[in-house]
């Protein structure tokens, strides 16, 4: 598998599923590989980065053999998308200590905002 740019997300989270569908739509050059964190291949990748626990509440973005979490992952992903959403990546200049609390707030209430899905509706390997 090409490990250049991989997005690992919670396949049981409808917010995550909607976000990934949006990314797929904006990923016109097909730069990303998508894996739900329930996927065996994703679990192996996460173990390789010692990221077993964060995967449940955090999106993980792997690029050039580096793993990024939470708001940093989101901002690094938007950098590669088409359209105005790409401008969101400029918020990377804001220190993580200010960005991640907002990410944690959304993560904490994501299942209330978007009902939990019994399974991932994004086609990923495995």
Per-residue H/E/C for the chain: CCCCEEEEECCCEHHHHHHHHHHHHHCCCCCCEEEECCCHHHHHHHHHCCCCCHHHCCCEEEECCEEEEHHHHHHHHHCCCCCHHHHHHHHHHCCHHHHHHHHHHHHHHHHHHCCECCCCCCCCCC
- How many domains is the chain partitioned into structurally? 1
Give the mean pLDDT of 17-33. 91
- Residue 69, domain extent: 5-113
Domain-located, residue 25:
yes
Domain-located, residue 10:
yes
Domain-located, residue 71:
yes
Domain-located, residue 124:
no
Domain-located, residue 66:
yes
Residues 70-114 pLDDT 10s: 999 999 999 999 999 999 999 999 999 999 999 888 888 776 766
Domain-located, residue 119:
no
Percent of the chain residues topping a pLDDT of 70: 81
Residue 3 predicted with pLDDT over 50: no
pLDDT on residue 13: 80
Q: Residue 7 — very low, low, confident or very high, per pLDDT cuts 50/70/90?
A: very high
pLDDT on residue 121: 55
């Amino acid at each position: 598998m090409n490990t250049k740019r991989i997005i690992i997300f919670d396949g049981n989270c409808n917010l995550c599923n909607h976000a990934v569908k949006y990314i797929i739509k904006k990923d016109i050059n097909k730069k990303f590989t998508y894996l739900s964190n329930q996927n065996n291949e994703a679990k192996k990748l996460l173990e390789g980065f010692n990221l077993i626990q964060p995967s449940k509440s955090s999106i993980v973005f792997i690029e050039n053999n580096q793993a990024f979490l939470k708001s940093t992952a989101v901002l690094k992903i938007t950098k590669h998308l088409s359209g105005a959403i790409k401008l969101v990546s400029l918020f990377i200049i804001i220190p993580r200590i200010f960005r991640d609390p907002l990410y944690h707030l959304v993560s904490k209430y994501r299942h209330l905002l978007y009902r939990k899905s019994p399974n991932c509706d994004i086609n990923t390997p495995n």
